[in-house]
């Protein structure tokens, strides 16, 4: 088993130089092919040669957007999240359509869920929400210079739109009133950059 305390260096950014952590696919097994997610239970070989199983969800990827108007207000959507059986406050977001660029998805979801169009959109980053068991990539954007467009939700989407000053939203992230991962990511990234 490898155990290495190293000074931060190029190896951190170029992990391909070290192969001893890699797991090899022996067989990919599709367990469930759903509306949004697929579940796999793959047979793999561990770095020490032993056999193991890896269960994970495959997801098309998502895009989310932090919309801030000229007065510094953020627009969040409140929606029921079935896995938690509760409503959450979140930045507008959705999954990528087939062949859709993440930034286009962010712009589309912003207008669909809030009725707002952005004069300016830029990337805040991308993150992997919980890499032990999903392959989802979540692309996060900042939208500014907002103007009114047309709201049009999917037939199974029910949301309320809430307008809150950014500093209050940041406080809600810091005191855990906001718990959604992509919203925490977007708000903290922007707070550290502005």
Q: Bridge partners of 63?
A: 94, 139
Residue 100 binds a copy of itself, judged by CB under 8 A:
no
Cα 53-55-58 angle, rounded to 5 deg: 140
**Measured torsion, CA atoms of residues 83, 89, 92, 94, in degrees rounded to the nearest 10:** 0
Given candidates 26, 29, 30, 87, which one binds a copy of itself under the rule CB under 8 A?
Answer: 87
| Distance in Å, CB of 119 to a copy of itself, minimum | 19
Q: Does 147 help bind a copy of itself (rule: CB under 8 A)? A: no
Contact status: 165 vs a copy of itself (CB under 8 A): yes
Among 36, 70, 99, 150, binds a copy of itself (CB under 8 A): 36
Q: What is the CA radius of gyration of the chain?
A: 20
For residue 31, CA distances in Å to 36, 134, 135 come to: 14, 14, 16
Tell me which of 43, 100, 108, 162 binds a copy of itself, using CB under 8 A.
162
Nearest residue (CB) to a copy of itself, 2 versus 98: 2
């Amino acid at each position: 088993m490898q155990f290495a305390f190293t000074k931060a260096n190029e190896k951190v950014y170029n992990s391909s130089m070290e192969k001893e952590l890699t797991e090899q696919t022996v067989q990919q097994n599709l367990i469930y092919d759903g509306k949004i997610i697929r579940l796999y239970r793959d047979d793999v070989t561990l770095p020490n040669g032993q056999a193991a199983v890896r269960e994970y969800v495959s997801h098309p990827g998502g895009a989310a957007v932090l919309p801030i108007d000229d007065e510094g207000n953020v627009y969040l959507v409140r929606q029921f999240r079935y896995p938690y059986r509760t409503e959450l406050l979140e930045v507008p977001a959705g999954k990528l359509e087939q062949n859709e660029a993440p930034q286009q998805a962010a712009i589309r979801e912003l207008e669909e869920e809030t009725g707002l169009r952005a004069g300016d959109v830029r990337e805040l980053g991308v993150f992997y929400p919980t890499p032990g068991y999903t392959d989802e990539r979540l692309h996060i954007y900042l939208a500014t210079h907002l103007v009114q467009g047309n709201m049009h939700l999917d037939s199974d989407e029910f949301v309320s739109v809430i307008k809150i000053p950014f500093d209050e939203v940041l406080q809600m992230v810091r005191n855990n009133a906001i718990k959604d991962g992509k919203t925490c990511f977007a708000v903290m990234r922007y707070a550290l950059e502005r």
